Amino acid sequence: MKILIKDIMTILPDQREKFVVRECNVYVEDEIIKAVIECDKKKDTRAPFSDKTADYVISGKDRLLMPGIINSHTHIYMNFMRCCGDDLAFNDWLFNTIFPIEDKMTDEDAYWGTKLGLVEMIESGTTGFIDMNLNMNSCCEAISEAGLRGIVSRGLVGSGPDDEGAIKRIKETMEAREKYLDNDLIEICMGPHAPYTCEEACMRYIADLAMEYNMKVNIHLSESRDEIKNIKKKYGVSPIALAERAGLFKNRTIAAHCVHLTKEDLDILAENSVTVASNPVSNMKLGNGLAPVTEMLKKGVNVALGTDGAASNNTLNMFHELSVMTLIHKGATESAQCISAKEGLRMITMAGAKAMGKEYEIGSIEAGKKADLVIINTNTASFMPRNDYISALAYSCNGSEVETVIVNGKILMENRELKTLDKEKIFFENEKIMNRIVKK
């Protein structure tokens, strides 16, 4: 399909990997951005792409075109658990509330929970995400039907290569990898859950497999002070140092949270080119603290942004996360310049693309990249007056302004109408799950 997005204010990358806004004509052919042409009122710069060559024309009047948003850490199936176990300490929330719900969860529950998360993502402009779940087939099926771009891992726990449970979960991962090997939108990666559920011998085995099959690694690290204390007591090192020792950083790794870090931890992350998926809302809500994002950025660590699951956030809305990220560090450091709106925008686009290992394919609006695009209605109270589009995204936009979402050249939502998901059916099924599992 050939799509022309005409006369639209467009967020473009500049030479310093930040952003500028220019009025452009953007031409998409199949899944690729074929041309990004800045409008020049003095001459016609739109040829050879025009209304006549396009199958479909979208008017850019009062609209803003931005790169698709990437959520770098989710548990998307958890959406039916929203508002369960709120205001609890982390260990109580995880071990006494979430794990018991997950024990009762079926594959079908995970499927419908995932679909609910996908509705929320599309409606708030997310086009790609990195996920850890318990039901690979159900989650991947839902993602495939919706048409989003996802890197998916099965949470792996266990004591080592002789642990039958660990082997079973790793086998599920490898079977899913084989199934989706040629899928352009879904990639399977290794997902050792965390050092407190996946022991060092198990992490070593997973690291070796990741190297052998060239798979990314997705793991939770240094999320709470209790984790740091217990891992130090058991292994004599920090969770970050343990993961490095186990070989998990040899391949491209996404480390979620990284809230409590030593200077040595920061050096390890930087030296091993680990992406940190920071989840400020979840970390604050569970009382786990505030990650040293400014120190990571100074070290050159790729910091991307994630929501975590809806059981701990309680939303997958990345505009909310972007606003929190850009504000809390200003307050914590008493510096209004520490993380700018442009830096925050980079975290949810370019840095997220790098986390996915797709920085040359997505994350910015450039000819030759995949057409993962979001059109925002700026004729709204939150954008008026239109003094600075990027500041508005970080500080005043709430996600409801997202109007049209395109992934891989396919329109998933237009004028707020979902094209690939039946929202009414999804809501109904999630209410059923809640009544069966959660309320009981």
Secondary structure element (H or E) that encloses residue 48, with its range: none
Q: What is the mean pLDDT of residues 245-270?
A: 97
Instruction: Say whether pLDDT at 151 is over 90.
Output: yes
In the chain, what are the domain boundaries? Answer: 2-67+370-418, 69-355
Burial class, 304, CB count within 10 angstroms (exposed 0-12 / middle 13-18 / buried 19+): buried
Q: What is the mean pLDDT of residues 225-235?
A: 97
Instruction: Say whether pLDDT at 45 is over 70.
Output: no
Interior CA angle at 361 toward 355 and 364, to 5°? 85
- CA–CA gap between residue 148 and residue 120 (Å, rounded): 12
| β-bridge mates for residue 9, sequence order | 23, 64
Residue 377: its pLDDT value, please? 98
For residue 407, give the amino acid letter.
V
Q: What is the mean pLDDT of residues 375-404?
A: 96
DSSP 8-class letter at 440: -
Q: What is the mean pLDDT of residues 68-94?
A: 90
Q: Choose among 327, 285, 331: nearest CA to 307.
A: 285
Task: Write the pLDDT tens digit of every residue in 113-136.
Answer: 999 999 999 999 999 999 999 999
Task: Write the pLDDT tens digit of every residue in 271-306.
Answer: 999 999 999 999 999 999 999 999 999 999 999 999
Instruction: Say whether pLDDT at 49 is over 80.
Output: no
**Residue 175 burial (CB count, 10 A):** 14
Enumerate long-range contacts of 322-329, CB under 8 Å, 24 or more apart.
Answer: 322/347, 322/348, 322/393, 322/394, 323/394, 323/395, 323/397, 324/280, 324/281, 324/284, 325/278, 325/280, 325/293, 326/394, 326/395, 327/395, 328/280, 328/284, 328/290, 329/290, 329/293, 329/294
Task: Write the pLDDT tens digit of every residue in 199-220.
Answer: 999 999 999 999 999 999 999 9
Residue 144: its pLDDT value, please? 97
Task: Write the pLDDT tens digit of every residue in 326-343.
Answer: 999 999 999 998 999 999
- In the sheet that 186-192 helps form, which strands lie side by side, from edge to edge? 69-74, 126-133, 149-156, 186-192, 217-221, 253-257, 275-278, 302-305
**Residue position matching structure tokens 């929320």:** 120
Helices (H), ranges, 248-367: 263-271, 280-285, 293-299, 318-333, 341-348, 350-355
- CA–CA gap between residue 210 and residue 199 (Å, rounded): 16
* N residues, the chain: 440
Do 166 and 176 contact (CB within 8 A), yes or no?
A: no
pTM across the whole model: 0.95
Residue 41: its pLDDT value, please? 56
Secondary structure element (H or E) that encloses residue 68, with its range: none
C-alpha pair distances (Å), 206 with each of 191, 241, 257: 8, 16, 20
Task: Write the pLDDT tens digit of every residue in 158-186.
Answer: 999 999 999 999 999 999 999 999 999 99
Residue 48: its pLDDT value, please? 66
C-alpha pair distances (Å), 127 with each of 46, 70, 110, 217: 27, 6, 20, 21
16: confidence class by pLDDT, cuts 50, 70, 90? low
Domain 2-67+370-418 classified CATH 3.40.50.300? Answer: no
Interior CA angle at 105 toward 230 and 109, to 5°? 130
For residue 238, give the amino acid letter.
S
Domain 69-355 classified CATH 3.20.20.140? Answer: yes
